[in-house]
Amino acid sequence: MIEPVLLATVSAAMITAAAYDATTLTIPNWISLLLFAVFPVLAFSSGMGWAESGVHLAIGLAALAIGIALFAANLIGGGDAKLFAAVCLYMGSASVASFVFAVALAGGLLACAVLAIRSVALTGITTRFSWLHRLSTSGTGIPYGVAIAAGGLFVFPATHLFALASGY
């Protein structure tokens, strides 16, 4: 009975992370923490077994370790690393590769869009919208949380966890 609310919470958290990152170039910790907290509740309520839950947890922890290493190398932001790991938690072994591919594809499209915004003189528009001005400023980061959320929202409905929780 609670599964639809939990599925909606996961999706809403991804959308919220994307919106925060697009407008502020930060992802608040509470979003990743919410995703980490909802996982065991969703896994338990949907009837996922301990072994499969452990695989999901291992994937999430591996993604977090890789994210920490990339953050330490100054290649990605800390919020991106935490969000990626939190979303990986929901993917499982059957869907994590699709998720990584979807994030990479969305990230490439996002980078092209940001470069296009930066190459066009949008002074009139960017002064009205501080988040657009921030995106159009050369040397600022790319809100990769948008790509992570897009990949997650695209792949999550095809995961085994989603099928268990939704009864399909």
| Cβ count within 10 A of residue 64 | 19
- 17 and 27 in contact (C-beta within 8 Å)? yes
pLDDT digits (tens, 9 = 90+) for 64-86: 999 999 999 998 999 999 999 99
- Summarize the confidence of residues 99-115 as an average pLDDT: 92
The domain limits of the chain are: 3-166
Is 55 strand, coil or helix? Answer: helix
For the chain, the farthest-separated pair of C-alpha atoms sits apart, in whole angstroms, at: 56
> pTM of this prediction?
0.88
pLDDT in tens, 10-41: 999 999 999 999 888 899 999 999 999 999 99
Confidence check: pLDDT of 2 > 70: yes
